[in-house]
Structure 1
Amino acid sequence: MTMTQSSTRPPVFELALLALLATLWGASYTFIKIGIETIPPVTLIAARTLIAGGVLLAIVRMRGLTLPRDRATWRDFAVQACLNSVVPFTLIAWAEQSVDAGLAVILNAMTPVFTFLITWLWSRHEATTFRKFAGVMIGLVGTCIIVGTQALTHVGRELAGQLAVVLATICYAGAAIFGRTFKSLDPIMPATGSLISGAVILLPVSVVLDRPWTLAPSEASVLALIGLAVFSTAIAFLIYFRLIHTLGSLGTTAQGYLRAPIGVAIGAAVLGERLDSSAWIGLLCILAGVLLMTLPPQGRPADIRAT
């Protein structure tokens, strides 16, 4: 689909895709929590990228497409893999050994903030308007409301895990901006190429660290891995690279705010993690922030410029 074709879609279609992406990635934190019960983090993520990359490669073949073969493109796929899967996926899986899935998804909701700051202070590849700035701030307020007093009680506890999630969040922000490198490609190409590159990087590490042939994962962990790979990775990456084209990096990372209440709700339902009633107030703020960051501007926007 060309940019011209996709630009004729009504905004509600792209917002629906944004909500679907937030749901798929919101569920990933619960999948990870269940998966790491019997599968070590590195091996879980190596298998995640391998399965997801295999699914997308099969789709590429069914569509009669061919992956790029030049070194420059595969180098970019490898960089995208490090920013969008290898490093952040592994950090989050490691962190969830000590951090609740709900808290992890909330901390990860900071992605739009880091994307905005990187765009404003460095890349300036798209307009960082006052409306987008307002969306970032309102979404952040909503996230803080969701965190509530429970997060305050966790300050200082499991600090390494929390910092690992924040570092993963910064990686996601960088990935959203670097993903613009692939604007000339069908979205399935960078999705497939980056996941295959991620698997190539992680599989040797898994073999050395975890000796996966000696593991005895539970049925629940295996099912969680399959859900994580197929739904929260393969399908999610297809949507993600499409939205990078249509909504831009700032708009796409806005799903991080929407992902927060969804991820918390899934963690509460599946893992029994407690969902505070203030989450619904926070959700309204988050939805307002997402709308401000993603709806097309009326007239010429006023840019925020670094001084």
Structure 2
Amino acid sequence: MPMTPQNPKLAKELVLLLVLATLWGSSYTFIKIGVETIPPVTLIAVRTLIAGAILLAVLRHRHVRLPRDRATWRLFVVQACLNSVIPFTLIAWAEQSVDAGLAVILNSATPIFTFLLTVSITRHEQATARKLFGVVSGLAGICLVIGVEALGGLGESLMAQLAIILATICYAGAAIFSKNFRGLDPAVPAAGSLISGAVILMPVSLIVDRPWGLDPSAASVLALLGLSAFSTALAFTIYFRLVQTLGSVGTTSQAYLRVPIGVAIGIVFLGESLSPTAWIGLTCVILGVIAMTMPRTTQARSA
């Protein structure tokens, strides 16, 4: 196939998609280590604060200014709630009792919920048979991962797993809402939403956790720094860029790249393991996400 000017650009975007999947896949392990000695709200408050400060420094170095109009900042606040404040906190709270591997599997269903929200609210995509298969397969996988104890409402980690599902729905809403930032430098909505998230969460942290009395371990502090700099500041910049170049559906397709990466990191560094049912559920989720995000043959040839 001859090399055209578009091919190197597409290859670059796909490499960035893999980098994003790795950054977000590793975030679950960072969170698991962080919440060992840092309360969830404080962990996420500091995460958004550090990441926002890093992006502000990057924007200043590049001589890029944040918008000053209230309308844009209202959009930043909504994006912050959907993409960081609510889901970050829910996942951090859940990982006090849920393994990082299970968290990444449950959270990988973002494209499925993105499609469901699109069909029920924005309605700009058709419900094809392939996509319906993806929804059924993905939701079945989620049920298998959660386990049969969910049927009876039992299990000590059931509420935590449901919290991750709610976080996944928030991410789906954020993927759709992020279309409001087309035309902006990708680092601008990333910085604006993270700063907004920090403003919301820092007072809550001061009231609920009283962080001045905490004694976090060195491992938790390092995990927090890695989570803030790499899995948040850098990842958000790449995310908003890919939303503009690959679209919301294409960008959320990193979910099925993130699953094996996140599970592998949890197994290697945290010594976690998955039950046979969870492995089956993992397969169903991946199949579902692939069915939801794989372009049609004609579209793929055009790309």
| CA gap 1:136/1:10 in 2 versus in 1, 3 angstroms | farther
Range 96-105 or range 248-257, more displaced: 248-257
Deviation track 1:130-172 (CA, whole Å, cap 9, x = no partner) reads 6656666677788889x5xx95578742111011000000000
Tell me if the contact between 1:112 and 1:136 (Cα under 8 Å) persists in the aligned partners: no
Deviation track 1:267-288 (CA, whole Å, cap 9, x = no partner) reads 0111100257999999888777
Residue 50 of structure 2 is matched in structure 1 by 51
| CA gap 1:130/1:238 in 2 versus in 1, 3 angstroms | farther
Mapped to 2, the partners of 1:294 and 1:93 lie a distance apart of 27
Deviation track 1:69-111 (CA, whole Å, cap 9, x = no partner) reads 0000000000000000000000000011111111111111111
1:20 and 2:19 correspond? yes
Instruction: Name the SS of the counterpart of 1:69 in structure 2.
Output: coil
Tell me if the contact between 1:258 and 1:290 (Cα under 8 Å) persists in the aligned partners: no
| CA gap 1:288/1:153 in 2 versus in 1, 3 angstroms | closer
Deviation track 1:12-38 (CA, whole Å, cap 9, x = no partner) reads 332222221111111111100100111
Residue 175 of structure 1 is matched in structure 2 by 174
Please list every run of 5 or more consecutive structure 1 residues that lacks an aligned counterpart in the other structure.
Answer: 1-5, 302-307
CA displacement at 1:206 relative to structure 2: 0.2
Mapped to 1, the partners of 2:131 and 2:91 lie a distance apart of 27
Mapped to 2, the partners of 1:141 and 1:18 lie a distance apart of 26
Residue 210 of structure 1 is matched in structure 2 by 209
1:245 and 2:244 correspond? yes
Give the aligned residue type for 2:31.
I
| CA gap 1:96/1:286 in 2 versus in 1, 3 angstroms | closer
CA displacement at 1:121 relative to structure 2: 2.1
Range 198-207 or range 254-263, more displaced: 254-263
Tell me if the contact between 1:27 and 1:263 (Cα under 8 Å) persists in the aligned partners: yes
| CA gap 1:182/1:17 in 2 versus in 1, 3 angstroms | same
| CA gap 1:294/1:167 in 2 versus in 1, 3 angstroms | closer
1:124 and 2:160 correspond? no
Instruction: Name the SS of the counterpart of 2:244 in structure 1.
Output: helix
Give the aligned residue type for 1:272.
G
Mapped to 2, the partners of 1:114 and 1:296 lie a distance apart of 18
Number of residue-to-residue matches in the alignment: 293
Mapped to 2, the partners of 1:151 and 1:22 lie a distance apart of 26
> Structure 1 stretches (4+) deviating beyond 3 angstroms?
6-12, 125-145, 150-156, 275-301
Please list every run of 5 or more consecutive structure 2 residues that lacks an aligned counterpart in the other structure.
Answer: none
CA displacement at 1:257 relative to structure 2: 2.1
Mapped to 1, the partners of 2:239 and 2:289 lie a distance apart of 15
Give the aligned residue type for 1:217.
P
Residue 34 of structure 2 is matched in structure 1 by 35
- Give the structure-1-normalised TM-score: 0.84
Range 214-223 or range 16-25, more displaced: 16-25
Mapped to 2, the partners of 1:15 and 1:292 lie a distance apart of 18
Mapped to 1, the partners of 2:290 and 2:238 lie a distance apart of 18
Mapped to 1, the partners of 2:131 and 2:53 lie a distance apart of 37
Mapped to 2, the partners of 1:83 and 1:199 lie a distance apart of 13
Residue 304 of structure 1 is matched in structure 2 by none
Tell me if the contact between 2:79 and 2:178 (Cα under 8 Å) persists in the aligned partners: yes
- Give the structure-2-normalised TM-score: 0.85
Percentage of pairs with the same residue: 66
Deviation track 1:182-240 (CA, whole Å, cap 9, x = no partner) reads 01211111000000000000000000001111111110000000000001000100111
Residue 222 of structure 1 is matched in structure 2 by 221
Tell me if the contact between 2:33 and 2:223 (Cα under 8 Å) persists in the aligned partners: yes
| CA gap 1:144/1:160 in 2 versus in 1, 3 angstroms | closer
Range 176-185 or range 271-280, more displaced: 271-280
Give the aligned residue type for 2:179.
R
| CA gap 1:285/1:198 in 2 versus in 1, 3 angstroms | same
